[in-house]
Structure 1
Amino acid sequence: MKLLQPKYTSQRNVVFAKNGMVATSQPLAAQAGLDILKKGGNAVDAAIATAACLTVVEPTSNGIGGDAFALVWMKEKLYGLDSSGPAPQNISIEALKSLGYEKMPKFGWIPITVPGAPAAWVELSKRFGNLALKEVLQPAIDYARNGYPISPTLGKFWKRAYEIYKKELKSEEFESWFETFAPNGRAPEVGEIWSSLDHANTLEKIAETNGEAFYQGEIADKIVASSNKYGGYLSKDDLTNFRPEWVNPISVNYRGYDVWEIPPNGQGIVALMALNILKNDEFIEKETVTTYHKQLEAMKLAFSCGKEYVTDPNYMKVTVEELLSEKYGKERYSEIKETANLPHPGKPSSGGTVYLATADGEGNMVSFIQSNYMGFGSGIVVPGTGIGLQNRGHDFSLNEHDANALIGGKKTYHTIIPGFLTKNNEAIGPFGVMGGYMQPQGHVQVIMNSIDFHLNPQEALDAPRWQWIEGKTIEVEQSFSNEIVEELVNKGHEIKIASDNGSFGRGQIIWKNNETGVLMGGTESRTDGSIASW
């Protein structure tokens, strides 16, 4: 991949390596993945080790009880894994409305869906791994059992979550969360050692049984017992019957590069729709009001379609091919005017998250993402397991006419998305930006920074970010150009300058030079990001 002289000079330099690289938001997890590479593991083994470690060393964003997606470049071919869990079979809109719910709650057992992350580790290891799952999970087990010091960004978000949960989670079902994550009656301080013996034991059981303990055995029984006790809908059958799905990645060609995402139920298609709109124009300069205006308008158009149509693919009313067609991209581009518009869906013809990237010396690469959603997730920790469960079901609608309406056994619209870039059927590499609905917006920005504006991976990540919130409301980081902010306001955008950059996503990039085999990585400056390489 040719990267021209950068326009921005970042304080944090790009990292180069030849034999392997792991990029993620926590140094300890990155190093764990690198250690696995050095033991003879491949990029998949390193990804699993890093992901498992992240459940321990960054529990504010993900956990054993969350979901996962992966794009795997293995032996010159790209594979997609969707390991997002469905809603419990016995849940329904009618059942929740009879209990007085008008919308899906954020906390408690109601929004909990089947956790997919452990099954993702098992499936990836079984199909592509070089090492035994037990060896790959051992670093995470050791950190959970022996403890690790809290890093700065982790401590900040842990404290924020504790203050929220202390105010909102008062009933008995949440006591286990406080016992696990605030054992001293507070969030752990930066630099303080934190450990979880229950978490270590759960990881060990997953490793020893290749996940069977979690979905069919002892851990599953504890999950279901807690669900039954507190009025949840998750059953033993829901866990036992869950299987990750191997899916065909979807893509658009953007200026000669193929940008790949996981298909729906993930929202990666939103990033692809935006790029499919934007490729109908040319962008020479990054720091112009025209560039930002068109990026924002394309993003709004893409999101309006995503929220209207994207859900479990078994329930979608339009096809991926229709949403990503050249014709539809041109039609949507023609709707971009000189001033800001309110977003609306088009009508195609009928027919808290962690991200990591790994690469090994043999050319294999992994783009992997997992999440509990909204930080720690549901606020539910299954007693005696250390498992914090996700609240992914919060995104379901209780309006039966909505595309993403709640149905038992259905997967919800999913925010977490890994990305991958290829050119001429050769891997350039994995990329991702975590953070709820910021994710497709982050994908568009780092891809355009890399391809249109020739920034290296670190600069592509460090560049000031924007995000569409709703209507005409846009948030920008404090480092954003004041002059461009004023010009965007003159075009009708309602700009807010964010006081905290925590909502603008946290990304990682690894690009490969296919002529030399050299890896080039960038990591997120907005968190405790780290690249481990050799």
Structure 2
Amino acid sequence: MKDQLETYPYASKRTAPAGMKGMVTTSQPLASQAGLDMLKKGGNAIDAAIATAACLTVVEPCSNGIGGDAFALVWTKHSLYGLNASGPAPNSLSAEEVKKQGHKKMPERGFLPVTIPGAPSAWVSLSERFGRLPFHELLEPAISYAREGFPLSPVTARNWRRAIQHLQSTLSGEEYEFLFETFAPDGTIPAAGEIWKSEAFAETLEQIASSKGEAFYQGRLAEQIDAFSRKYGGFLRKEDLARYTPEWVTPVSVPYKGYDIWEIPPNGQGMVALMALNLLKTTTFFEKEQTETYHQQIEAMKLAFADGEKYITDPRDMSVKTEELLSETYAANRREHIGPEAMVPEAGEPQHSGTVYLAAADGEGNMVSFIQSNFYNFGSGLLVPETGVLLQNRGNSFSLDPQHANFLQPNKKTYHTIIPGFITKEDQPIGPLGVMGFYMQPQGHVQVGMNMIDFHLNPQSALDAPRWQWMGGKTVRLERSVPPHIVEGLTRKGHDIEISADSNEMGRGQVIWRDPDSHVLYGGTEPRTDGSTAVW
């Protein structure tokens, strides 16, 4: 790893921070430091991840919150564990009810797309199973920043302003006033460097900390959420919260050129990244900044997304098995559809048989890949009064078409965009990786993973490298830093090329890479956000 910067001519000049005792890398410096502080107090990587995740709900509330969902991959005790803390639709919500209210598709904001929040349950479950420090200590940094305030970092401030301005122009109704009162107090949206705080947020976190989450799912907070939902015609009830539990799941993987790449199984879209890598693993790539490299990656990603859109949903309702989608036979069949020209993809037929990401590691070999989200920036736009709990709008991904895999039904989980990734080699942990950003996430996993494995970039260089995003059909959006000969080459192959005006839409990622011989931890954090790697 230490020599990888010199082995590739297009590598960035930034080196990957290295450490031995611990590392936390995420999109916000205060959150990274909160996690590292837990390591220095005697906690492990799981404690660090929980503290960082809780802190992120305060210092980057436009992207995630207490009322969102979470997923985690945890390497500990010589094994990889998966946690799915995504919530289903409320028991009383159905497609028929949505249509009755005059909608032809799921709305983006308001109560209809609100699903049961899973994030607090993820923190508690991780702590109870693998944590070392008392749970209430892990939330202390988040509580402190909520109560005493913190200065907004630049990218967070920009995203905050854009989102609030958009919502101010599109949302009307008394139920949304609590959002604007909290995140644009006295009508003023805080700018970079300005202090923001919320006593209500601090008190909510204290209740979660002292009750180990019970207050949120069965106590006072559950009552407040229920009352708010009932008052404004929502469907989420305290009974929905009371019966919710996160699920420990078996991670899924594909072998890729000497490594194994791991993701959470459906309902997450990590399968899309795995299906694309399964198509690409038989090809030898000689250069990253080569037209054929981009073309092959894009075409593989199209096919994977087509299959993901058709089949991925709540695993109880999937028409095919994950092992069928990831089989060598199916990959060989789908690989034949990649030709020299850009295509518009269609799903195959296998044979039956807005978000924050963080990575944490400690000196004992424990590692965590963790992601949580409100879905859109500021989620549903609904903030439960006097709590700071911003409800997510994950239900926007449901379909009202009875023939669609993600047809809305009570208590059903929908296709989920947030995905944590993990890399192992010969049953040893290499480390966590993740890239936030809606449907950019599996595309980011493929590109960043290949940057390290195929092109030998260190984690920081792998994140710094130019990215692309398939937007649908033959349209591909490229960062401005993509070399001109790539733009010209892809155009000749029939791709409809757009140049991105905002690098933030290319995802925001973090990586930790553990050297299998020296056990040195190398980190990388996103140049497209306020990223920070805290090292010990």
TM-score using structure 1 length: 0.99
Tell me which moved more, 162-171 or 205-214. 162-171
Cα-to-partner distance string for 1:202-237 (whole Å, 9 max, x where unaligned): 000000000000000000000000111111111111
Say whether 1:146 aligns with 2:148. yes
Alignment match, 1:338: 340
Shift of 1:3: 6.2
| Partner SS, residue 428 of structure 1 | strand
Cα-to-partner distance string for 1:130-166 (whole Å, 9 max, x where unaligned): 0011001000000000000011001100110111011
Q: Distance in 2 between matches of 1:208 and 1:198?
A: 15
| RMSD between superposed Cα atoms in Å | 0.9
The size of the alignment, in residue pairs, is 534
Q: Distance in 2 between matches of 1:515 and 1:73?
A: 17
Which blocks of at least 5 consecutive residues in structure 1 are unaligned? none
Alignment match, 2:382: 380
| Partner SS, residue 184 of structure 1 | helix
What one-letter code is carried by the residue in structure 1 that aligns with 2:416?
A: H
What one-letter code is carried by the residue in structure 2 that aligns with 1:347?
A: E
Say whether 1:29 aligns with 2:31. yes
Alignment match, 2:245: 243
Kept in 1, the 8 Å contact 2:19–2:520? The answer is: yes
Shift of 1:38: 0.2
What one-letter code is carried by the residue in structure 2 that aligns with 1:28?
A: L
Q: Distance in 2 between matches of 1:320 and 1:168?
A: 39
Kept in 1, the 8 Å contact 2:136–2:210? The answer is: yes
Alignment match, 1:304: 306
Q: Distance in 1 between matches of 2:33 and 2:486?
A: 40
Alignment match, 2:18: 16
Say whether 1:271 aligns with 2:273. yes
Cα-to-partner distance string for 1:46-96 (whole Å, 9 max, x where unaligned): 000000000000011000000000000012110000000000011111111
Cα-to-partner distance string for 1:465-522 (whole Å, 9 max, x where unaligned): 0000010000010111111111101100000001111110000000001211110001
Equivalent of 1:137 in 136, 139, 162: 139
Alignment match, 1:517: 519
Alignment match, 1:410: 412
Alignment match, 2:487: 485
Q: Distance in 2 between matches of 1:188 and 1:101?
A: 34
| Partner SS, residue 368 of structure 1 | strand
Tell me which moved more, 8-17 or 192-201. 8-17
What one-letter code is carried by the residue in structure 2 that aligns with 1:52?
A: A
What one-letter code is carried by the residue in structure 2 that aligns with 1:441?
A: Q
Alignment match, 2:223: 221
Alignment match, 1:63: 65
Equivalent of 2:209 in 187, 207, 210: 207
What one-letter code is carried by the residue in structure 2 that aligns with 1:86?
A: P
Shift of 1:186: 2.4
Q: Distance in 1 between matches of 2:353 and 2:172?
A: 49
Kindly report which structure 2 residues correspond to 1:67-78, keeping only aligned pairs within 5 A, or say none.
67-78=69-80
What one-letter code is carried by the residue in structure 2 that aligns with 1:15?
A: P
Shift of 1:351: 3.4
Equivalent of 2:327 in 322, 325, 344: 325
What one-letter code is carried by the residue in structure 2 that aligns with 1:186?
A: T
What one-letter code is carried by the residue in structure 2 that aligns with 1:181?
A: F
Q: Is the alpha carbon distance of 1:2 and 1:406 closer, same or farther for their aligned partners in structure 2, counting shifts above 3 Å?
A: farther
Kindly report which structure 2 residues correspond to 1:44-55, keeping only aligned pairs within 5 A, or say none.
44-55=46-57
Q: Distance in 2 between matches of 1:9 and 1:281?
A: 22
What one-letter code is carried by the residue in structure 2 that aligns with 1:308?
A: K
Alignment match, 1:86: 88
Shift of 1:284: 1.5
Q: Distance in 2 between matches of 1:166 and 1:130?
A: 43
In the TM superposition, structure 1's runs of 4+ consecutive aligned residues that sit over 3 Å from their partners are 1-4
What one-letter code is carried by the residue in structure 1 that aligns with 2:80?
A: L
Say whether 1:365 aligns with 2:348. no
Shift of 1:363: 0.5
Kept in 1, the 8 Å contact 2:382–2:391? The answer is: yes
Kept in 2, the 8 Å contact 1:6–1:456? The answer is: no
What one-letter code is carried by the residue in structure 2 that aligns with 1:204?
A: E
Shift of 1:530: 0.1
Equivalent of 2:126 in 124, 127, 138: 124
Shift of 1:6: 3.3
What one-letter code is carried by the residue in structure 2 that aligns with 1:253?
A: P
What one-letter code is carried by the residue in structure 2 that aligns with 1:50?
A: T
What one-letter code is carried by the residue in structure 1 that aligns with 2:17?
A: V
Kept in 2, the 8 Å contact 1:162–1:186? The answer is: no
Shift of 1:2: 8.5
Alignment match, 2:200: 198
| Partner SS, residue 439 of structure 2 | helix
Say whether 1:157 aligns with 2:159. yes
Q: Distance in 2 between matches of 1:153 and 1:99?
A: 37
Alignment match, 1:399: 401
Q: Distance in 2 between matches of 1:284 and 1:11?
A: 21
Kept in 2, the 8 Å contact 1:8–1:455? The answer is: no
Kept in 1, the 8 Å contact 2:27–2:525? The answer is: yes
Q: Distance in 2 between matches of 1:230 and 1:90?
A: 15
Shift of 1:169: 1.1
Equivalent of 1:316 in 315, 318, 323: 318
Cα-to-partner distance string for 1:98-149 (whole Å, 9 max, x where unaligned): 1111110111111000000000000000000000110010000000000000
Q: Distance in 1 between matches of 2:180 and 2:101?
A: 27
Q: Distance in 1 between matches of 2:521 and 2:8?
A: 18
Which blocks of at least 5 consecutive residues in structure 2 are unaligned? none
What one-letter code is carried by the residue in structure 1 that aligns with 2:226?
A: V
Q: Distance in 2 between matches of 1:274 and 1:2?
A: 28
| Partner SS, residue 90 of structure 1 | coil
Q: Distance in 1 between matches of 2:500 and 2:326?
A: 32
